[in-house]
């Protein structure tokens, strides 16, 4: 029987999740159909309930990760801390369950694919929305010395930092940013709108690694700005997209897949 899967979001037409999971399905010898579901505001619960009558699970992208967290009957500790769910499935008891694979997907891309270090490093994370809340827990587990959190609304970043209750994580004002962070992660959507980066140049040094969680067929505006400040290393978030999808695939089917092959496939198609 064909396994029915989907990604819920708005917008969702641009999503490469169907291509990724169909590639995983071929690797694993699983017959699956993965669709894109455009969800209107206020319709998430109805659409999700209807889909799960026949579907085995689905992914969630912006802006419904918080709604997905509220929708499920049970969720992982990671998703509860993030207050965001990106993968829904029924557990062995048939209970509607949510998990969040974003953070582990990001760390896998940073450490395994890019060879960048997190342990004992000083990090700067930009943003305070669902994209950031979903990755902070895994970043902290990776053992950094510190994570500075900068958001346009300082109060929102402070509330988010307090939720994790880790002294290494603190919200910070722009005028207090340090020089030459080891790793800077952009979790804002500014690059999608072509918004100009408004940050002090000293945060980027020649040894800084700069990561934009969005991706595209050319260097993102954030990474372009970083390269203008110093001879740093940069990467977009395509690897994170594939890694978090691989973790979701394992949740649904109990099978580990080759993500490197799929990252290469997507790069060739951008």
**Nearest alpha-carbon partner for 137 in 172, 106, 179, 158:** 106
Is CATH 3.40.50.720 the classification given to domain 103-236?
yes
* Local confidence band at 216 (pLDDT 50, 70, 90 cut-offs): confident
Q: What is the pLDDT of residue 193?
A: 64
Give the model confidence (pLDDT) of 12-32 as tens digits. 999 999 999 999 999 999 999
CA–CA separation, 257 and 264 (whole Å): 14
Q: What is the pLDDT of residue 191?
A: 65
**Nearest alpha-carbon partner for 54 in 68, 33, 40:** 33
Give the model confidence (pLDDT) of 220-237 as tens digits. 999 999 999 999 999 999
Give the model confidence (pLDDT) of 156-204 as tens digits. 999 999 999 999 999 999 999 999 999 999 999 776 666 768 999 999 9
Report the share of the chain in percent with pLDDT over 90.
Answer: 92
- The arithmetic mean of pLDDT across residues 249-260, rounded, is 98
- Where in the sequence numbering do the catalytic residues fall? 65
**Nearest alpha-carbon partner for 241 in 42, 2, 24:** 24
Where do the domains of the chain lie? 3-100+242-269, 103-236
- Is residue 34 within 8 Å of residue 252, measured between CB atoms? no
The CATH code belonging to domain 3-100+242-269 is: 3.40.50.10860
- Is residue 119 within 8 Å of residue 142, measured between CB atoms? yes
CATH fold match for the domains 3-100+242-269 and 103-236 = yes
CA–CA separation, 37 and 15 (whole Å): 10
Beta-bridged to residue 33, according to DSSP, are: 4
């Amino acid at each position: 029987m064909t396994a029915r899967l989907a990604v819920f979001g708005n917008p969702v037409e641009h999503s490469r999740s169907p291509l990724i999971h169909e590639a995983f399905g071929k690797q694993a010898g699983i017959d699956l159909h993965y669709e894109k579901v455009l969800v209107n505001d206020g319709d998430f619960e109805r659409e999700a309930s209807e889909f799960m009558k026949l579907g085995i699970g689905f992914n969630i992208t912006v802006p419904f990760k918080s709604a997905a967290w509220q929708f499920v009957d049970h969720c992982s500790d990671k998703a509860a801390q993030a207050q965001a769910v990106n993968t829904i499935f029924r557990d062995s008891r048939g209970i509607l369950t949510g998990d969040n694979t974003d953070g582990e997907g990001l760390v896998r891309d940073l450490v395994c694919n890019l060879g960048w270090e997190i342990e004992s490093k000083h990090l700067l994370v930009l943003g305070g929305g669902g994209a950031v809340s979903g990755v902070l827990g895994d970043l902290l587990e990776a053992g950094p010395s510190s994570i500075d959190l900068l958001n346009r609304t300082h109060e929102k970043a402070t509330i988010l930092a307090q939720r994790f209750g880790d002294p290494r994580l603190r919200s910070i004002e722009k005028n207090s940013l340090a020089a030459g962070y080891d790793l800077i992660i952009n979790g804002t959507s500014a690059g999608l709108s072509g918004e100009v980066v408004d940050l002090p140049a000293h945060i980027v040094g020649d040894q800084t690694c700069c990561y934009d969680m969005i991706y595209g067929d050319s260097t993102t505006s954030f990474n372009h700005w970083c390269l203008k400040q110093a001879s740093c290393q940069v990467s977009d978030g395509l690897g994170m997209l594939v890694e978090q999808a691989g973790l979701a695939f394992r949740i649904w089917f109990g099978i580990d897949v080759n993500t490197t092959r799929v990252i290469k496939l997507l790069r060739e198609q951008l």
